[in-house]
Amino acid sequence: MKNTYLIKYVFLLLFVFSAATVFAQKGVITGKIVDEANQPLPGATVTVKGTQQGAGTDVNGNYRLTGVSGTVTLQVTFVGYQAIDKVVNVSGNVTVNFNLVPTANDLNEVVVIGYGTEKKKDLTGSIATVTAKDFNQGAITTPEQLIQGKVAGVSITSNSGAPGAGSTITIRGGASINGGNDPLIVIDGLPLSPDAINGAANPLDLINPNDIASFSILKDASASAIYGNRASNGVIIITTKKGAAGKPVINFSTQLSAGTLPKEAPVLSPSQFRDYVNTYGTAAQKAIMGTANTDWQKQIFQTAVSTDNNLSVSGTAGKFLPYRVSIGYTDQNGILKTTDMQRYSTNLNLSPSFFTNHLKVNFNFIGSQTNNRFANNQNGIISDAVNFDPTQPVTSSNALYKPYGGYFQWTDPSAQDGLKSNTPLNPVALLEQTNDKSKAYRGIASLNLDYKFHFFPDLHANVNLGYDESKSNGSTTIPTDAASNYLQPGAANGSLNSGSYSPYNAEQQNKLFEGYFSYSKDVKSIKSHFDAVAGYSIQDFKNIASNGLFPFISGGSTVYSNSEFTDGLVNTTATNNYNSYEYLINEFILTSFYGRFNYNYDERFYLTGSVRSDNSTKFAPGTRTGTFPSGAFAWKISNEDFLKNNPVLSNLKLRLEYGVTGNQEGIGDYDYLAQYSLSTSTAQYAFGSTNYQLYRPGAYFPGRTWETTDAANIGLDYGFLNERITGSIDYYYNKTKNMLATIGQSALTNFGNQITGNVGSMENKGLEFNINANIITTKNIGWTANFNVSFNSNKVLKLTSVAELTGISGGTGNYVNVDEVGYARNSFNVYQQVYGTNGKPIDGVFVDRNGDGTITSADRYNDHSPDPKQIFGFSSDFRYQKWFIGFVTRANLGNYVYNNVASATGIQRNILNPIGNLNNGSSDVLVSGLTGNGSNDLLSDYYIQNGSFLRMDNAHLGYNFGSVFKGAGDLKITANVQNVFIITDYKGVDPEITYTGNGGLAGVDNNYYPRPRTYVLGLNLSLK
Amino acid sequence: MKKFSTKVLLLTGLLITSGLISCDKNKIITPNYEVTSEQVYSTFSGYTQTMAKVYGAFALTGNQGPAGSGDIQGIDEGTSDFFRLLFYAQELPTDEAVLAWGDPGVPDFHNMNWSSSNVILLGLYERCLYQITLCNEFIRESTPALLSSRGITGNNATVVGQYVAEARFLRAYQYANLMDLFARPPFATDATAVGSSIPPQTTRTALFSYIESELKAIDPLMVAPMKNQYGRADQAAVWALLARIYLNAEVYTGTARYTDAITYSSKVINAGYSLISNYDNLFLADNNKNTTENIFSIEYDGNTIQGYGGTTFMTHAPIGGSMPASFYGISGGWAGLRTTSALVNLFPADTVTSLKGNESHFPNLGNPDTRAEFWSNGQSLAITDVTSFTQGYAVNKWRNVTSTGAQGSNINFADVDEPLFRLSEQYLIYAEAVLRGGSGGSNAQAVTYINNIRERAYGGVAGDIASTDLTLQFILDERARELYWEGFRRTDLIRYGYFTTSTYLWPLKGGVANGTSVGDFRNIYPIPDQDRAVNPNLTQNPGY
């Protein structure tokens, strides 16, 4: 069936096109279209206004239009450039050339808004868009880094410098405590699952940034409410590149980059360390110092050379099938030795139209394979390197270290495994003796059908089908001579094993079916335009995981053998694995109805309303369905008579917006059910001599539902000098109600003393401002600049009890972040340090704030929060003839950091460790002189440090050769530096730390993988 | 072409409709890795595995050994273990133990300045109440009517009936701990459904009556002494707990019950128990064999019952300094716990001062009283700095090796079981109750019982006492010698009026070098703030 229709269709098209050529014997218009730098613009479209006639430009920017006669208006359009009309009197052959000027902010630009598009000038919500031409440059491996620093109110903090590591994206401060603060991400109409799978560094790193055409960021609720109970943290809509008109264009880009460690964590040098131990240490401690001078951080970090290569072909096949195919290969090495990521990716886009554009089809496939090698517990390795005694060698021929592969370790001959317990392990050994590898695959396929009714063209029917599947498998292999797994208990018979092999699998499926009708109508008589959307969607998310642990069997005399690991040593038989494979399947289904209505009167007054009703299986029947309405009003003041044709002010629009959104993350898929879970084999209990695995009743969450955020926004969009200066200013107030937070449950009432329930409320309010300027736009010189700033203030309004967020390093059970009513989320809760007259902290002396004569936890106070109070982004690009230069900088102000590296290591008790070894420590110890012997020392406000910073993310210089190969290609060469510099008073390595916390640590600096400084050389060649 | 578009429309319509049909708004998706309560309680083995959790909540901190899926949230999982926290609360504020670490809440015990936000007390409180919650649930699900409706009959029903009696015992045991530690905990039984209401606060007197009546009610339902499976409580455990609360009844209710203490300790003593021959074997990896002396123990196993509390804590925390880890069957110590000179000085002097060449005298350095299991090499007796491990003698009493010297099954996790009740304590209860005026016993019998204990300790009659030696002070000291670090000391000092007062000062009491008295309100721990924040029925104990 399908095939015969296709053939018929092809014949039809051939007929239509041949018919068109029959007329073409009147006049011929030819010409060349160039950009502001006089470079040809391939792929621009020239049309004769009011007719169907048109042509595209070839690789040299030339076009040819035939069969035109009389006086016609030619219009040239090209994405990212201002359209130009020219009136031409055609008699015979004429030549008409066009010089296009780019527009940074074209009001006619079409913006993807979710279930449809809207022209930028008609938007009523607070929506930011960033298209390919404004993306950040350089060695960018994950999509979100393309827009870092570009959008007011959107904070993108990379989680670490590890290859492929993701970022924490926070829009307007985030809406929750435990419900998650990550925005919903939609790719080509398919909302993604919020969860990463085991074995992939982050869910977005499976997508090649080079395939992305644009981002739309729905910041306020009037825009995002159409996404209902997943929209509280904003929505990011990513659209991938589509096929272009005309002959195939081949684009090839390649990058070579070198990443370096910008700064080591400040620790004592070997000589400072010796002085310190000799000054303060006991005779025994002095005696265990070694003779080496090892910079452990240098030992684990490297200069990482990486490449990124992309090839794409885009064009239209057989006149009716626009296509784009791309392949990409990225090999990113980490600056932490052994870590790397290789990604093979492909993207296929087909966007044919049928029935004279009545049926538009868009098929998109994104496929990738990522091979990762992680450093298992990489933060632990970095901590160990910061912490390790610099007087000890990396390896030694001493027989003592032979069982551990020759790596130096802290030993204790009386211990069975010969290792001194609770001492750090040699970080180089940890890196090199662990092989933590994974392969992750992802395929995202989406098919969008847009049918315009034949006899009622104002009405469209749309069907979206989407399927997203990720699969990964990985394993951690530790050889038998690795100290980390040396002589571990193995089988139940009590034998000891060394090394281990622990494989895991994970799989995630996300299926979408969606259908909606859209209606659009211009009623000229009453100067009105209406459009409406109504639809239904069902989406099913499934997550499947399994893992296992197999100790190597090294019984009898081979226990101490130092043999190289081979697969042959792995015993995967059932009798010897003590942690059998588990399969965990988590699934939830979301069914939704949604609708939106837009009205504008005379392009002066705009009204938008939307509503979505979601039904989520994450909640008990009865509390499943929620309704999320929104409304917005906009007044385009610049279209009023008194401002129309104003020579200075080209755009002025006032927006008022209000909406309700929801959030259902951060909770289990089945928690509302009364469930029993079985304990692991290491958590059994015996009656007589029989072991039983235990059935534990799970905590119970009846009545729990999503949290909701009421968001109000007032904004002003402006444009001056024919849109050469544009921007907007927005004030928002978001209040989260029924906030999901983890709080105490009264004892004896439940099987958990804490539950994550709808217990609180929180507000975010703030101001956003951005300005874009095309300062100079001439043939030879171009200069653009973008500046944005956002102010956000977060406050917990209601919480039934103070939630303490645990887990800092040093000691057990210490917490430094609290959520408390009246304070910002994740505020630091600490003791107030007393300082001596010399300005140094007095060891163990704190202010008795409540004056009861003793220092207890009641004396702790909330001192600052990790949230930045102001976030700035500033970028600029400058062009002189064929040279171009640009940079992107960002600054966060008012964010505080708990310097856990200093608090856990920069104390005498850590360096002269009572456990019997020596550790290096933060050089802060020389300044503070703290001993760390007091029980409250870790929680001193001395360690709460101002983390404000200014960072230049990127600086680049390039040369545009323009036409090469006799006009067959275009060549551009760029040199980049990423993470150029950072200006900060912060005393640790890098103060830019994830601050939303999602119910855990926030703003705590504890030796995460440092962000590299990367030098990049790139080449871009396009061929026609 | 029109035909085609119609088909497209039809297809579209069909897809939309099929989408609609597949949407069942009330669909319940069930997890594959958990089971519903109906499934669990549909079989006898399900009952056994749930009962195993009721018991296992003593030993384990969660569903994944050693840690990772904790029962109690919001606090470090290692800080939610029953025996470790009981040890902290019962031993750290006394003369028996100091701990080097500055973990939150720990130093408050030495300084005797704990507050209602102390996280250790929160953990202990939550653990005791969590186990009670599990008991309540098990009892609710095990009524005869429910059992028969689920097809559990015959011998299986009888065993579940025994489980129910044992669950009631465990609940009574944990309420007894709460009565001793917090005096006025919230109170709920199986009569209150989960999540139905916020529990009321009880009083110490009411709780005493409840525990007493519960224990008496289940007495006939329990398996006879020494006849139950190892790891499960029997009738003697019920009697032993009764004897213990009667001994302390005057503290709890103001009414002395020494006669009852004699009655019930005698019942235990006469049930057929006897002391094992070697005191040093009491806390070793194979102490599950000590069934003649140990009445009821918490089980641990290096491979199958793993955690960072319990005897793993007891075998690791006191090891540091020059102590060879291999002597203790572990990979390395945690360099934390020691004892003060007050405990060491209750024993005679060691006959061996250095272990070098005298390894055969391990673990007690040739002390005539073999219970003096101290490590003094490289340790000073006096303590000026609690955080320094080498100040104060370490304790060798718990070791992850068997009585034949073999390493436990796992060098990281101990096999040692922790007896909650053992015969020695019952002898001491008997003797003290007699001295305090209880009837039904005799002084002579008391002396005999004490000498039973001492003859085992001295390996002969060298340490025997005469009737004139038997004073209340002697019994308190003997309890310290026999039961040190087993979780009794705070209760004992309170019963003697020593805990907070200046009558008895020990080094570092109240955080002062020579000791100081503290407010009497510290005889009772505060109700944790966290629970008061969510349970409006709870009022704070006086003084906090």
Can you list the pairs that A524-527 forms with residues at least 24 positions away whose Cβ atoms lie under 8 Å?
Answer: A526/A601, A527/A601, A527/A602
Round to whole Å and give the CA distance between B428 and B439.
Answer: 15
- Kindly report, residue by residue over A374-415, the tens digit of the pLDDT: 887 777 899 999 999 999 999 999 988 988 989 999 988 777
Mean pLDDT over A318-336 rounds to: 90
What local confidence, expressed as pLDDT, does residue A683 receive?
A: 87
Instruction: Report the range of poorest mean pLDDT among A387-396, A472-481, B491-500.
Output: A472-481
Instruction: Record the tokens describing residue B351, joined without a space.
Output: 């006959």
* A/B interface, count of CB pairs below 8 Å: 371
| Residues A148, A149, A154, A158, CA torsion sign | positive
- Kindly report, residue by residue over A724-765, the tens digit of the pLDDT: 899 999 999 999 999 888 777 888 888 887 778 888 899 999
pLDDT at A142 over 90: no
Residue predicted with more confidence, B493 or A551:
B493
- Kindly report, residue by residue over B111-127, the tens digit of the pLDDT: 898 988 888 999 999 99
- Chain A nearest-CA distance from B317, in A, is 12
* SS3 track for A250-311: EEEEEEEEEEECCCCCCECCHHHHHHHHHHHCCHHHHHCCCCCCCCHHHHHECCEEEEEEEE
A754 burial (CB, 10 Å; 0-12 / 13-18 / 19+) is buried
pLDDT at A4 over 60: no
B79/A449 touch (CB, cutoff 8 Å), yes or no: no
- Kindly report, residue by residue over A533-568, the tens digit of the pLDDT: 999 999 999 988 776 655 554 433 233 222 222 322
Residue A875 banded pLDDT, cuts 50, 70, 90? very high
| Residues A844, A850, A853, A857, CA torsion sign | negative
Round to whole Å and give the CA distance between A718 and A636.
Answer: 10
Residue A201 banded pLDDT, cuts 50, 70, 90? low
> At B314, phi and psi to the nearest 5?
-65, -25
- Which of A411, A577, A673, A695 has the most B C-beta neighbours within 10 Å, making it the best mutation to test the interface with B? A695
CA B150-B152-B156 angle, to 5 degrees, is 160
Residue A37 banded pLDDT, cuts 50, 70, 90? low
Round to whole Å and give the CA distance between A607 and A121.
Answer: 13
H or E stretch at A284: helix A283-287
CA A660-A998-A888 angle, to 5 degrees, is 85
Mean pLDDT over A59-67 rounds to: 78
Q: Which of B48, B137, B305 lies nearest to residue A697, judging by beta carbons?
A: B137
What local confidence, expressed as pLDDT, does residue A555 receive?
A: 37
Q: Which of B29, B302, B412 lies nearest to residue A589, judging by beta carbons?
A: B29
Q: Which of A422, A489, A813 lies nearest to residue B411, judging by beta carbons?
A: A489
Of residues B428, B430, B420, the one with CA closest to residue B487: B420
Of residues A300, A325, A323, the one with CA closest to residue A312: A325
A682/B65 touch (CB, cutoff 8 Å), yes or no: yes
Whether omega for the bond prior to residue A42 falls within 30 degrees of 0, making it cis, is no
pLDDT at A899 over 70: yes
Round to whole Å and give the CA distance between B289 and A651.
Answer: 88
What is the ipTM score, two decimals? 0.92
Please say whether the beta carbons of B406 and B326 come within 8 A. Answer: no
What local confidence, expressed as pLDDT, does residue A141 receive?
A: 80
- Kindly report, residue by residue over B201-215, the tens digit of the pLDDT: 999 999 999 999 999
Residue predicted with more confidence, A486 or A634:
A634
Residue A23 banded pLDDT, cuts 50, 70, 90? very low
Model confidence, pTM: 0.82
Instruction: Report the range of poorest mean pLDDT among A53-57, A716-720, B88-92.
Output: A53-57
- Kindly report, residue by residue over A95-136, the tens digit of the pLDDT: 888 887 766 455 667 888 888 888 888 888 889 888 888 888
- Kindly report, residue by residue over A576-619, the tens digit of the pLDDT: 333 445 567 888 999 999 999 999 998 899 999 999 999 999 88
DSSP-derived 3-state class of residue A752: coil
Radius of gyration over alpha carbons of chain A, in Å?
31
Contacts of A625 in chain B (CB under 8 A): 25
- Which of B2, B5, B305, B338 has the most A C-beta neighbours within 10 Å, making it the best mutation to test the interface with A? B5
Average pLDDT for chain A:
84
Whether omega for the bond prior to residue B66 falls within 30 degrees of 0, making it cis, is yes
- Kindly report, residue by residue over A223-234, the tens digit of the pLDDT: 888 999 899 999
Mean pLDDT over A961-969 rounds to: 78
What local confidence, expressed as pLDDT, does residue A134 receive?
A: 85
Percentage above 70 pLDDT, chain A:
89
- Kindly report, residue by residue over A144-159, the tens digit of the pLDDT: 889 988 899 898 888 8
> At B215, phi and psi to the nearest 5?
-65, -40
Instruction: Record the tokens describing residue A284, joined without a space.
Output: 């025994």
pLDDT at A203 over 70: no
What's the one-letter identity of residue A955? A
A515/B16 touch (CB, cutoff 8 Å), yes or no: yes
Contacts of A934 (CB under 8 A, 6+ apart): A843, A844, B102
Of residues A899, A894, A952, the one with CA closest to residue A921: A899
B126/A856 touch (CB, cutoff 8 Å), yes or no: no
- Kindly report, residue by residue over B138-160, the tens digit of the pLDDT: 999 999 999 999 999 999 999 99
Instruction: Record the tokens describing residue A362, joined without a space.
Output: 């868009």
Please say whether the beta carbons of A41 and A33 come within 8 A. Answer: yes
Residue predicted with more confidence, A373 or A570:
A373
> At A432, phi and psi to the nearest 5?
-85, -20
What local confidence, expressed as pLDDT, does residue B416 receive?
A: 97
- Kindly report, residue by residue over B297-351, the tens digit of the pLDDT: 999 998 889 999 999 999 999 998 889 888 998 888 888 999 999 999 999 998 8
DSSP B196: S
B407/A673 touch (CB, cutoff 8 Å), yes or no: no
DSSP-derived 3-state class of residue A900: helix
Contact with chain A for residue B407, Cβ under 8 A:
yes
- Chain A nearest-CA distance from B19, in A, is 7
- Which of A487, A746, A854 has the most B C-beta neighbours within 10 Å, making it the best mutation to test the interface with B? A746
pLDDT at A569 over 70: no
Round to whole Å and give the CA distance between A632 and A713.
Answer: 9
Mean pLDDT over A889-910 rounds to: 92
What's the one-letter identity of residue A808? I
What local confidence, expressed as pLDDT, does residue B435 receive?
A: 97
Instruction: Record the tokens describing residue B236, joined without a space.
Output: 């003697």
**DSSP letter string over A46-74?**
EEETTSS-EEE--TTSEEEEEEE-EEEEE
Contacts of A892 (CB under 8 A, 6+ apart): A155, A868, A870, A871, A872, A947, A948, A949, A991, A992
Per DSSP, which regions of B349-440 are E strands? 374-375, 394-395, 418-422
Give the residue from chain B lying closest to A813, CA to CA: B76
- Kindly report, residue by residue over A342-366, the tens digit of the pLDDT: 999 999 999 998 888 889 999 999 9
Instruction: Record the tokens describing residue A1011, joined without a space.
Output: 């962000």
What local confidence, expressed as pLDDT, does residue A376 receive?
A: 73
What local confidence, expressed as pLDDT, does residue A812 receive?
A: 66
What local confidence, expressed as pLDDT, does residue B468 receive?
A: 94
Instruction: Report the range of poorest mean pLDDT among A337-351, A666-680, A934-948, B6-20.
Output: B6-20
Round to whole Å and give the CA distance between A158 and A155.
Answer: 10
What's the one-letter identity of residue A792? N
DSSP-derived 3-state class of residue A198: coil
What local confidence, expressed as pLDDT, does residue A106 receive?
A: 57
Look at the block and give the residue holding tokens 């917490």: A815
pLDDT at A43 over 60: yes
pLDDT at A461 over 90: yes
Residue A489 banded pLDDT, cuts 50, 70, 90? low
* SS3 track for B353-365: CCCCCCHHHCCCC
Please say whether the beta carbons of A107 and A651 come within 8 A. Answer: yes
What local confidence, expressed as pLDDT, does residue A10 receive?
A: 45
What local confidence, expressed as pLDDT, does residue A551 receive?
A: 56
What local confidence, expressed as pLDDT, does residue A79 receive?
A: 66
- Chain B nearest-CA distance from A830, in A, is 13
> At B133, phi and psi to the nearest 5?
-60, -40
Q: Would you say how long chain A is, in residues?
A: 1024
Round to whole Å and give the CA distance between A984 and A895.
Answer: 11
Instruction: Report the range of poorest mean pLDDT among A183-197, A445-459, A505-519, B222-236.
Output: A183-197
- Which of B33, B112, B319 has the most A C-beta neighbours within 10 Å, making it the best mutation to test the interface with A? B33
Q: Backbone dihedral region of A826: left (phi > 0), alpha (psi from -120 to 50 degrees) or beta? A: left
Mean pLDDT over B9-16 rounds to: 54
Round to whole Å and give the CA distance between A834 and A842.
Answer: 6
What local confidence, expressed as pLDDT, does residue A9 receive?
A: 47
Contacts of A933 in chain B (CB under 8 A): 102, 385, 387
If one counts every other C-beta atom within 10 angstroms of the C-beta of residue A89, the result is: 10
CA A545-A550-A556 angle, to 5 degrees, is 175
pLDDT at B518 over 80: yes
Please say whether the beta carbons of B238 and B215 come within 8 A. Answer: yes
DSSP-derived 3-state class of residue B170: helix
What local confidence, expressed as pLDDT, does residue A205 receive?
A: 74
DSSP-derived 3-state class of residue A1020: strand
What local confidence, expressed as pLDDT, does residue A536 receive?
A: 94
Round to whole Å and give the CA distance between A918 and A423.
Answer: 9
What's the one-letter identity of residue B188? A
Residue B88 banded pLDDT, cuts 50, 70, 90? very high
Mean pLDDT over B27-43 rounds to: 81
Per mean pLDDT, which of A47-51, A143-147, B432-436 is the most reliable? B432-436
